[in-house]
Structure 1
């Protein structure tokens, strides 16, 4: 059997930016399991990625063989809609600093991680990669989306100008161990898990969720995402970004029902229709990723059940 076309040097320094976050921590687990024995990570107190001079000094000192840009300021609909300037500015600073510094020392392999929110609000479903920049964005997270679109363009520009083999991946909605469960910044699934778990603990009869429950969402376990990232690093090399997901979606009401079952909630779910629904449907076309030889392996119901268990086991120490 022929070796993969971009077999990474597992003994060389590999830098995971954002290793403490949901995706970054999963990447560290996946890389360690794959035999990478010189993983480089830095906490924010050790390296502020918004501090340009510090990032350049770090990159010149480490000179990694590969970099994964998983660091980002993230949040749910409420946080994105309330603090758009913060989401735009901080994410641009982080990714520009990292990629400029990586280009200066000519890091041969870099993966920039974005988000499926880069696509137009009313993009044809399932969403193909060429839907980018074909229509207006969802207004509640357009600032974050613009930052991620800029990252894709920077990867493409570096490929053209410097000839480096950098790539971009755009995951769908992620969930799993290490997620953010705070009221202000959590995404859909961790928000639901916390809400239903607390309802069970408080013996409540009713849980109220935002919106109508009718929008459809695709969810991908973060360990699947990390697996896909490593696969792309070793099997993909093109300027265009790659969708990362399952290619399957469910209504938010269906997802809430799965969470209710996993938490043991036996009460009634109501919907606050005065709150925004966000994008009506968002499911990715994953044909390009599938063509490289990768597919997801974690069924949604199983993933939700294990994430609920993780939340309960770690409730005293996780971000709440």
Structure 2
């Protein structure tokens, strides 16, 4: 009994597009004639290609489902060998496929699968002419974390990446790449560097894909980055905050001198314009005030706190 397309791919009729594609890829890796040891690999590969070409196309799939639900309305299909079996719901698919696509050899699903594999497949004797075509390798993406200092000065770094890919048998594996990467100054958090030809290898002499490296900056307990803006927590004393004194601060933008506002509050942000990452549109540096109380160990230090308390006798920190 001939299988219908869903049975051919091993999925249910309510399978999602992703589930159909995943099942097709699994079967294609198993039955591709260049790597499969199955006796009927070539015929099986053709069958699953026909099934996938129909079920991966929303219009073709709708027509096919209509045919399955109303087989009497499609009596003209499959009258040859195999054909549509009204008793068991089987369908050989060849005539339906030709009507839907206009070309019985246009297996777009097959191209979609093997156009994504890193190294292609060996030169099997049973390849079709379509399989002999060259395809560009897939672009790959990776993310690296670097010190924020690089955003202000740039750097050339050697990095080792572990990139998921497929081997020549269509099996997933991790590929290690060691590359020298020039990181220009001014890159915002999340921006990418493109390395031409460093992606997956092309198939049958096709060009390699590109590698895109996303830049992330290392956060610390004091500094974080958002786009081109930098946020840094700075410690100040109660008298510096209360009197609005001038202080010096080490920042990613260098050693800076600034005047605190009088009666500065804990958590208050001070914006230093264009002192963030020096991008084409420069970011800002936000200094977040953290008021630090000194410990009172000696008698003199304790007396100083008592004088402070006497001076602020009306202050009620827990007043409702």
Give the TM-score taking structure 2 as reference length: 0.24
Instruction: Point out which structure has higher relative CO (alpha carbons under 8 A, 6+ apart).
Output: 1
Hey, which of these two has a bigger chunk of helix by percent? 1
Structure having the higher Rg: 2
- TM-score, normalised with respect to structure 1: 0.24
Q: Higher strand proportion, which one?
A: 2
